[in-house]
Amino acid sequence: MFIQQALNSLQLGSIYALIALGYTMVYGVLRLINFAHGDVFMVGSYAALFLAVSLHCPLLIILPLTFIAIGALGVVIERLAYRPLRNAPRVSAVITALAVGLFLETIMLATVGPEPKKFPALIITTVYSFGSFTTTNLQIMIITVSIVLMMAVDLFVAKTRTGMAMRALSWDKTYAPLLGINVDRIVSVTFALGAGLASIAGIFVGLAYPVIDPYMGIMVGWKAFVSAVIGGIGSIKGAVIGGFLLGAVEILSAAFLPSTFKDMIVFGLLLIILLFKPQGFFGLPVQKKV
Amino acid sequence: MTNNTPNNPLFQITGLSHSFGGLKAVSHFDLTLEPGQIWGLIGPNGAGKTTVFNLITGVYKPDEGSIDLNGNDLTSLPSHAIIARGVSRTFQNIRLFKSMTVLDNVRTAGYCRQNYSLWSALARTTRFTEQEERLRQSAIEVLKTFGLVSRIHELAMGLPYGLQRTIELARALVSRPRVLLLDEPGAGMNPAEIDKLAATILWVRDTFGVAIVLIEHRMRLVMNLCEQVKVLNFGETIFQGKPGDLSKNETVVKAYFGEDHDPAGN
Amino acid sequence: MDRKYIGPLLFAAGMASTLCCDFLHALDPYVAQIIMYIGINIIMTASLNLVNGYMGEFSVGHAAFMAVGAYVASFFSVSILPHGPWSAVFFPLCLLAGGAAAALVGFLIAVPAFKARDDYLAIITLALIMITKSVFENLPWFGGPQGYSGIQKYTNLSWVFVCATATVVVVRNLVNSNFGRGIIAVRDDEVAANLVSVNTKYVKVLAFVVSAFFAGVGGGLFAHLIQFINPRTFSIIKSTDFLLMLYLGGSGTLAGPILGAAIWTILLELLRFLGIWRFVVAPVALIILMIYRPLGIMGGKEIKWFRPHPPFPSPPGEGERIKQ
């Protein structure tokens, strides 16, 4: 029983973590909370749906194609909507992000309609029973691919030159350009990476909870944002831990409480965590300088 | 108005100590002030001088020690209450309210002197109008004496640096402090401006009857103004006495070794 | 004419017109409804402006206060008050009850919320929306997930006008007072504010509570206009609407919320022929506006008429007393 919940938590947590990574990386590099990120995740889901249903692509093709396509979408959004506001008050950028989100939701609503759509089963589900718990090949795939992706991102940020540049930018926006870092390029890469990861999460959501609708990005997006904050916004490790934590809390509260209480518990717990750890688990404490 | 005598001083700090993590930032700091006294607080960078100011004004709660103003214990009060009780300060890096005019910057410091209720403000009662007008006149008087009346409706942050420092000083005076803490008021000024600043500070002391503690690196200012100085190094007081005796004290000279200034006041 | 009579005269004129429209049916019902929506949006946006604009915070929880106000006001008018031809007289009491309940919730959330970091107010207020939705879904007296129906249409142009005017006047008087200076000081430099004697804790809670109160009143008016509410009505999307209106018009000014609410509401009505595509055109227009005018339409400046007495003449010379 416990293992069952753990597996379900890992699955849901992986999805939150993948999306949270996008929030945290963009925040790290730009100090911007990209409220359109949840909707990018949703568009990723629909993009994969299109590839699967209209072009009959197999899953192995869908994964990288969607990643690239939605990564490109992320770059375009940044270029058109956020870059002009790079030096504007932060609030203007946040409002723009909200507007971009609304735009994406409506585009999808207008083109595909509000009715939830069923995501096709792209892999033949095999169920494995182990006595007290069952799992499917799908669940295992989601968890393992997600973890591999998270490790890849971590390696990328820690070991590559671009990753180093991302970290440099997150520590000091003013002087990083003076060290020869092409800020525009790094920001684009960050957005591409974040959007790509979110689209993979979108595919997994489509496969695992096989109904998608244009408004799902809002709830999932905000929850992933919360994960990033619990983990400490700006910290990659934090986004991952936060995502899994939120997944666990949600699965466990759904298991033991009526479903109408679920959101209340999740967000109530969040408030409690923030009360004791205001900067999240891995966030940097804010130093007051007088 | 309390009559302060040496046995009943205006302002007394005893045994103030504070650490950040493992680092002892301030160690057993003592200070006694009579009205009208001007003390200097000097020392190398990082010696803990601004930390002392932060401890006095409640930015940090001291690990040990007590701070007393006219018999009121300030040690555990929140910052705004400390300021309301009569200790004001200026900042090393100017901290004016960036979206406010000169007049509003100064008026905001009168927060503790207003005591009308929210309802009075919303209904614009006589109490409100009278108190607001009184504060407005008071602020304008202070600004007038600093020669800033013609600029009261300008955005404070748009003014030249020297004027911004003056505005901050004016702002610190509106809450009718008994003790004024000035954190490097002479930073960024040339010698002519320093002399003018010294005259201004003396004038403030004489007009408003405050006791002043001055953090400064510009020895010219310290020599001209301070009756007594305390020297801090690594949080500890290594000298207390007249400014003229500074250069004779070996510990002080060693602490400043490497700084290229002449302690004789140039 | 002395400037100080303009306000009351305009108010009287406004009251006269709204009363005419309400009781003589002088206005097309569709147009009247749009105007009422504009009024309610003005109340919501102007109250949000206090926390997000003047205090510089980022609260996304305004829909939660609207929800509390809507539910409590409706509960009073449907379940508590006696029914009869004169029950409309009790409507303002219901609105006040809604506002007070919302203010209480605002108080309960403000105290812990302001201990947290800046960016986190967004999350805390988001949590508030979720929790509020959950609460109203689970409490039996409020209709549960199916929602609350049977609400009488007590909202009319006059009530909306009175409440909107009250909101704007209260915000204006609050901002131009000791507390208002404190609120703006908190936005500009909270640490320095504390160090010039502003009781920032008090001021922050005050702004939040006043903001929540009017959001509750707006919620009550809203409920008694559309006559049916359910927990999903007051979602994060609704909060987003008010945020968009506020920053469109220009936060931190008195005219901004009024402009933003009016323009956004009217724009979406005018674009109704586009169907769902109006929610594409409108955000794009907003993004373009943000790029070229990041501070919104008002651009951070205030219309002179909204500044209280005395008006600001050209600066006098040295030594002159400032005249009223």
Percent of chain C with pLDDT over 90: 48
pLDDT at C317 over 60: no
Given a contact cutoff of 8 angstroms between Cβ atoms, the answer to whether A37 and A19 are in contact is yes
- For each of chain B's 266 residues, which pLDDT tens digit applies? 456 666 678 899 999 999 998 889 999 999 999 999 999 999 988 889 999 999 999 999 999 999 999 989 999 899 999 999 999 999 988 999 999 999 999 999 999 999 999 999 999 999 999 999 999 999 999 999 898 999 999 999 899 988 899 999 999 999 889 999 999 998 888 888 888 889 999 999 999 889 999 999 888 889 889 999 999 999 999 999 998 888 788 888 777 765 555 555 54
Instruction: Give the pLDDT band of residue C318 (cuts 50, 70, 90).
Output: very low
- pLDDT value of position C313: 31
- pLDDT value of position A256: 82
Q: Stretch C39-47: mean pLDDT, rounded? A: 97
Q: Which of C119, C132, C246 is the best mutation test for A, with the most CBs of A within 10 A?
A: C119
For B90, which residue in chain A has the nearest alpha carbon?
Answer: A290
CB atoms B121 and C174 under 8 Å:
yes
Helices C29-48 and C200-226 pack at an angle, to 10 degrees, of 170
Read off the amino acid at residue C170: V
Instruction: Give the pLDDT band of residue C312 (cuts 50, 70, 90).
Output: very low
Residues of C in contact with B151 (CB under 8 A): 315
pLDDT at A46 over 80: yes
Q: What are the phi and psi torsion angles at A176 (to 5°)?
A: -55, -45
Question: How far is C175 from chain B, CA to nearest CA, in Å?
Answer: 9
Chain C: touching chains (3 or more CB pairs < 8 Å): A, B
**pTM value?**
0.88
- pLDDT value of position C282: 85
CB atoms B144 and C319 under 8 Å:
yes
Residues of B in contact with A288 (CB under 8 A): 59
Structure-token match 């030594």, residue found: C319
Instruction: Give the pLDDT band of residue C323 (cuts 50, 70, 90).
Output: very low
B65 phi-psi bin (left φ>0, alpha ψ -120 to 50, beta other): left
Mean pLDDT, chain C, whole residue set: 86
CB atoms C287 and A89 under 8 Å:
no
Residues of C in contact with A101 (CB under 8 A): 240
Alpha-carbon span A218 to A84, nearest angstrom = 25
Helices C120-138 and A262-276 pack at an angle, to 10 degrees, of 150
pLDDT at C320 over 80: no
Quote the ipTM score.
Answer: 0.89
- pLDDT value of position B214: 94
Which of B220, B211, B207 is closest to B261 using CA atoms?
A: B220
Chain A CB within 8 Å of residue B23 CB? no
Which of C86, C233, C41 is closest to C149 using CA atoms?
A: C233
Q: Output DSSP code: residue B180.
A: E
Q: Stretch C6-18: mean pLDDT, rounded? A: 87
Alpha-carbon span B137 to B107, nearest angstrom = 10
pLDDT digits (tens, 9 = 90+) for A245-283: 999 988 988 888 877 777 778 788 777 887 777 777 887
Domains and CATH numbers, chain B: 9-86+177-261 (3.40.50.300), 96-176 (no CATH)
CB atoms A98 and C244 under 8 Å:
yes
Residues of C in contact with B129 (CB under 8 A): none
Alpha-carbon span C268 to C271, nearest angstrom = 5
CB atoms A222 and C126 under 8 Å:
yes
Chain C CB within 8 Å of residue A224 CB? no
Q: B183 in helix, strand or coil?
A: strand
Lowest-confidence region among A124-128, C31-35, C51-55: A124-128
Instruction: Give the pLDDT band of residue C99 (cuts 50, 70, 90).
Output: very high
pLDDT at C120 over 80: no
Q: Stretch A24-50: mean pLDDT, rounded? A: 92
What residues of C are in the B interface, CB distance below 8 Å?
170, 173-174, 177-182, 184-185, 187-189, 191-201, 206, 252, 312, 315-320, 322
Alpha-carbon span A17 to A23, nearest angstrom = 10
Given a contact cutoff of 8 angstroms between Cβ atoms, the answer to whether A21 and A232 are in contact is no
- pLDDT value of position C103: 97
Percent of chain A with pLDDT over 70: 97
Residues of C in contact with B91 (CB under 8 A): 192, 195
- pLDDT value of position B213: 96
- pLDDT value of position C70: 95
Alpha-carbon span C11 to A174, nearest angstrom = 51
Domain locations along chain A? 2-276
Alpha-carbon span A93 to A99, nearest angstrom = 10
Q: B85 in helix, strand or coil?
A: helix
pLDDT digits (tens, 9 = 90+) for C122-168: 888 988 998 898 889 888 888 888 888 888 888 889 999 999 999 99
Instruction: Give the pLDDT band of residue A69 (cuts 50, 70, 90).
Output: very high
pLDDT digits (tens, 9 = 90+) for C225-274: 999 999 989 988 899 899 999 989 988 899 999 999 999 999 999 988 88
- pLDDT value of position C315: 31
Question: How far is A288 from chain B, CA to nearest CA, in Å?
Answer: 9
- Tell me the residue length of chain B: 266
Which among C123, C138, C235 is the nearest to A229, CB-wise? C123
Structure tokens given for B204: 């403030």
Q: Which of B80, B82, B93 is the best mutation test for C, with the most CBs of C within 10 A?
A: B80
Question: How far is C93 from chain B, CA to nearest CA, in Å?
Answer: 19
pLDDT digits (tens, 9 = 90+) for A141-180: 999 999 999 999 999 999 998 998 888 888 877 777 788 8
Q: Which of the pair, C290 or C215, is modelled with greater confidence?
A: C215
pLDDT digits (tens, 9 = 90+) for A84-119: 988 887 778 888 998 999 999 999 988 888 888 888
Which among B89, B110, B132 is the nearest to C195, CB-wise? B89
Given a contact cutoff of 8 angstroms between Cβ atoms, the answer to whether B247 and B264 are in contact is yes
Q: What are the phi and psi torsion angles at A212 (to 5°)?
A: -125, 150
Instruction: Give the pLDDT band of residue C176 (cuts 50, 70, 90).
Output: very high
pLDDT at C319 over 50: no
Question: How far is B150 from chain C, CA to nearest CA, in Å?
Answer: 6
CB atoms B91 and A290 under 8 Å:
yes
pLDDT at C291 over 70: yes
CATH code at A2-276: 1.10.3470
CB atoms C117 and A278 under 8 Å:
yes
Chain C CB within 8 Å of residue A252 CB? no
Helices C62-75 and C91-113 pack at an angle, to 10 degrees, of 140
Given a contact cutoff of 8 angstroms between Cβ atoms, the answer to whether B35 and B178 are in contact is yes
The count of C-alpha atoms lying within 13 angstroms of the C-alpha of C241, restricted to the half-sphere facing its C-beta, is 20
Angle, vertex CA B203, rays to CA B201 and CA B208, nearest 5:
95
The count of C-alpha atoms lying within 13 angstroms of the C-alpha of B163, restricted to the half-sphere facing its C-beta, is 17
